[in-house]
Structure 1
Amino acid sequence: MGDNGIPHEKRASQKRRAAKGASAPSIVDLKARTLRIGARSVSIRLEPSYWDGLEDICSRERLTAGELITDIKARLDEQQQNDPSSHGVTLANAVRVFIVGYYRRAATENGHSRAGHGRGDPFVSTPFDTPNAPEKPEDGAE
């Protein structure tokens, strides 16, 4: 934990984003990382915002990305053994689904309110947020 209360890993992630000059993560460029999954090295390509989310989860859960993705892969393999229709799911897709599920479970009404959600602009505070977007009038207002 740093002096400012932000975990070192999170602060490093913020510094990387600031160094790139981006206020929001890129939504188009996939970034590949090679991780150790069991005895194998596996390359996974995800969008930068997913890597950031994964790093934040790992920091909170005190796991490395390799440890967490090893667990995700084990659960994916188990599901694919039990459900043949899930054989087309890639590890990268499983990681994305895990990240969304992790954050959905943690979402609260207060958190949504603090993020500016529920006010007619679902893109606020997302990589698709457009600076200086025209505000929508309140219901009944012109």
Structure 2
Amino acid sequence: MKVGTFSVSLPQPKEFFDIPLSAFAAGRSMPTKILIGMQTGERASTEDAQEWNNTIMSRRNRWTIPSLRGLLQRLERFNMIAAGWDIEWDDLTDDTPKAKLDRADKMADINTKQTATDNQPVFTGEEIRIEAGYEGDVPDESDDI
């Protein structure tokens, strides 16, 4: 009898995982990095997130909203819900609040520089407020903040 070590050569699970993962992500038009939650580099993660948000918005507009409208119209027809409903979602492709405020800050800087030059601002206060994501009119002092 001879005693020795038994060597086993097991393949890495990566090979078995990568192909189905890639196929699933491709079938959903979804970046693989978003699916598994691993994004390296700020630019890559931002671009993948923007592309995925565009895909989701497209699916909402082409499939989800018409399907929901059909369901709600049936529920309305059978008097299960009241008439006058509407479907609203936030726009996923819209800029972040930080990006909006950064643009509004740049607009205010441009106004300051231009006013110092010829006393004519380039942007109105209303345009800057709208760019920052607020209503255009300036709130009264009596309005609650």
- With the shorter chain as reference, the TM-score category is under 0.3
Greater fraction strand: 1
TM-score (norm 1): 0.25
Give the structure-2-normalised TM-score: 0.25
Higher relative contact order (CA closer than 8 Å, sequence separation 6+): 1
Q: Compare CA radii of gyration and give the structure with the larger one.
A: 2
